[in-house]
Amino acid sequence: MSVAPLSPAELHAEARAARAERRRLLLRSPGVLIGAAVLLFWIACALLGDRITPYDPIFDQSEDVFASPSAEHWLGTDRLGRDVFSRVLAGSRDILLVAPAATLLGTALGTALGLLTGYLRGIVDDVLSRLIDAVLSLPLIVIAVTAIAALGTRSATTVVIVIGAVFAPIIARTVRAAVLAERELEYVRAARLRGERAPYVMFVEILPNVMPVIIVEATVRLGYAVFAVASLTFIGFGIQLPSPDWAVQIADNYQFVDPAWWTVLFPAAAIASLVIAVNLVSEGLQQAYER
Amino acid sequence: MSGAPATGPALEVRDLDVAYRVRGRWRRVLRGVSFQIGRGESYGLVGESGCGKSTAALAIAQYLPRNGRVRGGDILVDGRSVVGLRGQELRRYRAQTVSMVYQNPGAALNPSLRVGDQVVEAFTASGVRADEASARARAALERVQIADAESVLRRYPHQLSGGMQQRVVIAMALAKDPSLLVLDEPTTGLDATVEAEVLDLVAQLQRELRTSVLFISHNLGVIAKMCSRVGVLYAGRLVEEGPVETVLRDPRHPYTVGLLRCIPRGGVRKDHGRLDTIPGFLPPLGAELRGCVFADRCPLADARCTAEEPPLVPLAEGHTSRCWYHERAAALPREEAPDLELPPIDREAPPLLRFRDLGKVFRERGHDVYALLGAEGAIWPGETLGLVGESGSGKTTLANALLGIVEPTEGTVELDGRPLAPRFQKRTPEQLRALQIVFQNPDSALNRRHSVRRILLRALRKLAGLAGGPAEGRLRELALRVRLPERALTQKPVQLSGGLKQRVAIARAFAGEPRLVVCDEPTSALDVSVQAAILNLLVELQAEKRVAYLFISHDLGVVRYISDRIAVLYLGRLQEVGPAEVVFEGPHHPYTEALLSAVPTVDGGGRERIKLEGEIPSAAAPPSGCVFHTRCPRKLGRVCELEEPPLREVEPGHLLRCHIPIEELRRLQAKPPAERVGA
Amino acid sequence: MLRYVLKRLALALVTLVLLSVVVFATAQLLPGDVGRKVLGPFATQEAVDALNREIGADRPVAVQYLDWVGGILHGDFGDSLALRVPAGPLLWDAFVNSVKLAALAFLIVVPLAILGGVVAGLFAGRLPDRAITLTGISLTVVPEFVTGIVLIIVVGLWLGWLPITAEAPEGAGVLVQLEHLVLPALVLALVLFGYIARITRAGVVEALEADYTRTAYLKGLGTWTVIRRHVLRNALLPTIAVVATQLGYLFGGLVVIETLFNYQGMGRLVFNAADQKDYPLLASGVLLIGAVYLAATLAADLLYAALNPRIRYRAGE
């Protein structure tokens, strides 16, 4: 059925109703709510740090190594006798800095690249697109490991730069597709026919229209960033000791999993809860925007 | 086949109420609709978008979307209620009793199954034995006049043209020998000559098979051609019903009257007669109305109309109208509008724009595609040149070449006698301002993230060099000129109706006093009542500013109304150029003749249908000689296949590309070509 | 069709060449002074120069690149810097091991994920869909090592069903080898499940809403026939491309999984090479992974084209 022509008053009401519907979808969806709550919890932990942990996550090292969960140490202790519960609470800080920073960097670079290639097309687009294809034929972790090894430094900053640089072409590809669709629309042609220059058309005419795509893409990437940072950290290429980061803890205690499973299981559960939370929120955003 | 009783109506819709649940609220789309279709009868349901006509079709097929529900009334096919059928019964009903054909045949066929498998399946589903089905499938395709049935069966849908695809869909629909065939806008989107062929085919099959047909369309001309009875649907309510001829000749509901007056027809032209419009808007979806659904847009309405809904008043011989004042409907007051003084066109003076030998070759998959070849012409200040042709004829390419959007491979364009750069990027601001465009689809032509104000201010700045206070002044003036309400300025395009959006697009094009505006199908995305208002606006602007238009449209009635001269394109070649009346009245090019005869009009009759054979050839491999010879009903012989005729001035101001001398054409076209028609 | 195949082949070749440039630039140029990076800040300049001369890092960049690519074309993958042996045999052993693991993961995940996706699509918006989609998302987004650890603890340690290392003891039979591979393969499968299921579901939902599905229902066909002949036929087409693409990404997961389970495959090899700054081995290993991915996508494209009549028979041919 084609869309009925509506009166201005009704169109106005419809637009408002659509916004309300979007809010309602976001707020009523249990997935989004749970995701947001978990995310907020970890953000709060990161902000409050060792002020809320029962023991200092790094320096309180007791004689009691590999103690199993008890009233004193709810989640047991690790190989240096540190309280696992305190370390799990403190472990969100670094990844919550590194992953969003990498996403932000990648989104900024990717948006610029996508706008340029999508709008200008021609030889620049062809060369860049092929290059992007080439880079994307390597799994994220493999490129990241190679680049970090080549740079020779292992630190949180390196991870931000490398993941940001790898995200850029991925995001650029999405933005480019949206720009390509957008530039075929007549409003772009109308702008050019009245003599607008390329930067104006790109940033004032097209960019606002691809913004929803960029926002959704960025939230999806944030999920991947958490995934990638954790994975790189686990194999020793990411966040480094003495950070109480969850993946650092797992890498540090993994060889003692039998029998000290608590030293790895709880940090693992924490990582899972964080990535799932981020993705539940981003999933909800996507659904709300795609209506 | 279904062993149904052969008596009684094929379809009876009683008091049908259908609602959709949207954002947690049930909204009525059909309000107590009742009508009947007799055996072998062809019934038309007509209305503008949003009136509920497609919902009626889906309800009859019991294929409403998940949020749609029949909330009251009943639908009887072959005397049996079909509302609420489920499972095996529903399957049997669809397999044996009802068939449906809808718009966009390309999507209706499964892209990954061969045509043959799909047609065969239609037969086996209706109970034909598998070993018989393939023979029946071939026969079915032959019945819908597909010449090469055997090879078509082996192909995939994307390998067929649109017209061919629709024939296949029709063949499948007829496989079960249905008691009721529902056709929902079956030819919308097809080219005029192809549409005409599909309509002829449906009419012929209907006569032969005596199938009962429900024909749904927004096009009164198509309904007039195809149906014996018609129902007019407005806001989910049947407002008038009766024999097609009676309703069209003597409409008795103000909405029907208004609708008919919106359509440019009967030789009405812009210089003597303005189009009537229907003011106001459709009531909101699901609004609960106490009185007549049309009351707030009706010039006749009074207190009684808003308080109490009129019943269906029976008039003569099966003609009914839902109006308290049906006897005054024909005398519906016209919208007040002064007649316009159009400036005279001086063709002795130098033209505004001239193009010579304009051609464009695209490279497509290793082939050269001649989108446009040797186009010549001129446009004078204040005139409208109508551009007519079917898809692939090169209309848009020609317009884009003039604007500099497409760089022509050969030829030149001159403005005021001075050559224009082939690409618009190289043109001066002065030249850019002189040539502007209004696009077909205002949704994509306006930036949906910018407010109307912002859109127009930017255009004023770039095209008129205005900013600040003076720009504000001009903005208000411009809005007034295109009748854009003040309130609309602060809104975004999504918050405006289609007509208002198109007004914004027109205002934008006129921001810098353009000399020529290309109108690329500016009204074809709009309903007829809105179309009329937009056409009136364009004519007003022309009278006032002496602007010239290049007006592209597939709607010949619209082109005739607005154009001073008309150019006809076929496969990238201009076939005919001449004053509008001459092109319409003839003698015309054989292609123009066929095109004109293909278009169903409300007035009906008049022209003898001239059938064109085959499909429009591909521009990648155009026929030798005259490109029209493969389909030309008046082909002379070898000369047409070997030699392309030049575009010659056969009368003052009338150019033709045909080997047949004008006198011969005049003689031939005075009487119907007997050997072709009525076969 | 032939045109299409040739075009795709050419495109894949161009990408492969570009990939080799990118890999070379990252693994051999980005480090700058290779000798210094390998030997560390305290080595003497003479030792650094000697190493650079030995591995040829003192030659012009173009020569180094051409030498490397030319060698690979002749089957010479260079020498491992850390182990001082030819890289070729190392790569081959690792590759075979990884393929075993990946193949097992694929065997587990593809049927499961497609089934899950079809069920979710057919019940879109209802309980089975929600359950499958939510499970799928959760499994896909959680890093492999996290899923792996949970499985190791629960299935390996607590339940004791499966061995927790991937490497079978010396001289073990095929079945024992397989048993050792199940847990890591399962981890890979869980991560892939959500993605494949999601694409399948999207295809099914789109096909269910298509006009041709309405045509099929209105022909009076039974629900199952419509789904089998019309919905699935069109819905599963895009899934094929996705499945093959995943084969490439699977190798990314291997770096982590093989480290976790201590398995000598491509991932472990790349990890070790990176860890020990064994740049020549790293470059060849990474290039091999990229080449596998490109080959998989190419195969997927061609298969997709062969199954899709819109590409197989272009209009007008």
Q: What is the pLDDT of residues B615-627, one digit of tens each?
A: 788 888 889 999 9
Residue B335 has pLDDT above 70, yes or no: no
Please tell me the least confidently modeled range out of A61-70, B208-217, C289-298.
Answer: A61-70
By Cβ distance, the residue of C164, C279, C289 closest to A138 is C289
Q: Which residue has the higher pLDDT, C26 or B215?
A: B215
Closest-CA residue to B377 (of B208, B193, B578, B213): B578
pLDDT, mean over chain C:
86
**Partner-chain contact B122 C219, CB within 8 Å:** yes
Strand ranges of the sheet holding B353-364, from the earlier edge strand across to the other edge: B367-379, B353-364, B410-415, B418-419
What band does A15 get if pLDDT is binned at 50, 70 and 90? Answer: low
C14 at interface of A, judged by CB pairs closer than 8 A: yes
- The winner for highest mean pLDDT among A8-22, A51-65, C207-221 is C207-221
**Partner-chain contact A254 C149, CB within 8 Å:** yes
What pLDDT, on the 0 to 100 scale, is given for residue B654?
A: 94
What band does B224 get if pLDDT is binned at 50, 70 and 90? Answer: very high
Per cent of chain C over pLDDT 70 is 98
Q: Which residues of A touch B489 (CB under 8 A)?
A: none
C60 at interface of B, judged by CB pairs closer than 8 A: no
The complex's ipTM works out to 0.85
Closest-CA residue to A87 (of A43, A55, A121): A55
**Partner-chain contact B23 A17, CB within 8 Å:** yes
Distances (CA, A) of A163 to A228, B488, C195: 8, 46, 21
**Partner-chain contact B508 A208, CB within 8 Å:** no
Per-residue model confidence as pLDDT tens digits over B126-152: 889 989 999 999 999 999 988 888 999
Cβ atoms of B339 and B306 closer than 8 Å:
no
Per cent of chain B over pLDDT 90 is 60
By Cβ distance, the residue of C216, C218, C315 closest to B159 is C315
Q: What distance in Å separates the CA atoms of residue B256 and residue B300, rounded to the nearest whole number?
A: 13
Please tell me the least confidently modeled range out of B4-18, B238-252, C183-197.
Answer: B4-18
What band does C317 get if pLDDT is binned at 50, 70 and 90? Answer: very low
* DSSP-derived 3-state class of residue B456: helix
A127 at interface of C, judged by CB pairs closer than 8 A: no
In chain B, the N- to C-terminal Cα span, in Å, equals 30
Q: What distance in Å separates the CA atoms of residue A68 and residue A55, rounded to the nearest whole number?
A: 16
**Which residue of B lies nearest to A8 if distances are taken between CA atoms?**
B496
**Partner-chain contact C222 B91, CB within 8 Å:** yes
Tell me the shortest Cα–Cα distance from A142 to chain C, in angstroms.
6
What band does A13 get if pLDDT is binned at 50, 70 and 90? Answer: low
Per-residue model confidence as pLDDT tens digits over B287-308: 778 889 999 888 888 999 999 9
pLDDT, mean over chain A:
85
Residue B90 has pLDDT above 80, yes or no: yes
Q: Which residues of C touch B140 (CB under 8 A)?
A: none
Q: Which residue has the higher pLDDT, B282 or B591?
A: B591
C129, C211, C224: best mutation site toward chain B, by most B Cβ within 10 Å? C211
Residue A28 has pLDDT above 90, yes or no: no
Closest-CA residue to C205 (of C235, C230, C241): C235
By Cβ distance, the residue of C26, C141, C164 closest to A147 is C26
Per-residue model confidence as pLDDT tens digits over B366-409: 778 889 999 999 999 999 999 999 888 899 999 999 999 999 99
What pLDDT, on the 0 to 100 scale, is given for residue B140?
A: 93
By Cβ distance, the residue of A137, A247, A275 closest to C248 is A137
Q: Which of residues 238-267 of A touch C (CB under 8 A)?
A: 247, 250, 254, 257-259, 261, 264-265
Per cent of chain B over pLDDT 70 is 96
**Partner-chain contact C219 B110, CB within 8 Å:** no
Residue B364 has pLDDT above 90, yes or no: no
**Partner-chain contact A276 C143, CB within 8 Å:** no
What's the whole-number mean pLDDT along residues B193-216? 91
What pLDDT, on the 0 to 100 scale, is given for residue A12?
A: 59
Angle between helices A140-151 and A207-234 (to 10 degrees): 70
Q: Which residue has the higher pLDDT, B88 or A25?
A: B88
Q: Which residue has the higher pLDDT, A54 or B305?
A: B305
Tell me the shortest Cα–Cα distance from A283 to chain B, in angstroms.
21
Q: Which residues of B touch A195 (CB under 8 A)?
A: 429, 432, 462-463
Neighbours of A222 (CB within 10 A): 23
What pLDDT, on the 0 to 100 scale, is given for residue B461?
A: 94
Please tell me the least confidently modeled range out of A60-74, A203-217, B156-170, B514-528.
Answer: A60-74
pTM as predicted: 0.85
pLDDT, mean over chain B:
89
Per-residue model confidence as pLDDT tens digits over C131-160: 998 889 888 889 989 999 999 899 888 888
What pLDDT, on the 0 to 100 scale, is given for residue C208?
A: 93
Return the partners of chain A (3 or more C-beta pairs < 8 Å).
B, C
Residue B4 has pLDDT above 60, yes or no: no
Return the partners of chain B (3 or more C-beta pairs < 8 Å).
A, C
By Cβ distance, the residue of B281, B284, B405 closest to A189 is B405
Per cent of chain C over pLDDT 90 is 26
Give the pair of three-digit tokens for residue A132: 């992007």
Please tell me the least confidently modeled range out of B73-82, B131-140, B232-241, C247-256.
Answer: C247-256
What band does B6 get if pLDDT is binned at 50, 70 and 90? Answer: low
**Partner-chain contact A185 B495, CB within 8 Å:** no
Q: What distance in Å separates the CA atoms of residue B494 and residue B478, rounded to the nearest whole number?
A: 20
Kind and range of the H or E element at B410? strand B410-415
Residue C83 has pLDDT above 80, yes or no: no
Tell me the shortest Cα–Cα distance from A11 to chain B, in angstroms.
5
Per-residue model confidence as pLDDT tens digits over B576-632: 999 999 998 878 999 999 998 888 888 765 567 787 877 788 888 889 999 999 989
**Partner-chain contact A21 B23, CB within 8 Å:** yes
**Which residue of C lies nearest to B103 if distances are taken between CA atoms?**
C211
B447 at interface of A, judged by CB pairs closer than 8 A: yes
**Partner-chain contact B437 A193, CB within 8 Å:** yes
What's the whole-number mean pLDDT along residues A168-175? 91
Residue C51 has pLDDT above 70, yes or no: yes
Neighbours of B673 (CB within 10 A): 14
Q: What distance in Å separates the CA atoms of residue B459 and residue B318, rounded to the nearest whole number?
A: 55
Distances (CA, A) of B464 to B384, B429, B433, B508, B518: 24, 10, 8, 11, 19
**Partner-chain contact B121 C229, CB within 8 Å:** yes
**Partner-chain contact A21 B48, CB within 8 Å:** no
Residue B267 has pLDDT above 80, yes or no: no
What pLDDT, on the 0 to 100 scale, is given for residue B607?
A: 63
In chain C, the N- to C-terminal Cα span, in Å, equals 10
* DSSP-derived 3-state class of residue B370: strand
Per-residue model confidence as pLDDT tens digits over B473-513: 999 999 999 989 888 899 999 888 888 999 999 999 999 99
What pLDDT, on the 0 to 100 scale, is given for residue A4?
A: 39
State residue B286 phi and psi, 5-degree precision.
Answer: 80, 10
Distances (CA, A) of B499 to B454, B525, B528, B533: 19, 10, 11, 8
Count, residues in chain C: 317
By Cβ distance, the residue of A11, A196, A211 closest to B497 is A11
What pLDDT, on the 0 to 100 scale, is given for residue A105?
A: 97
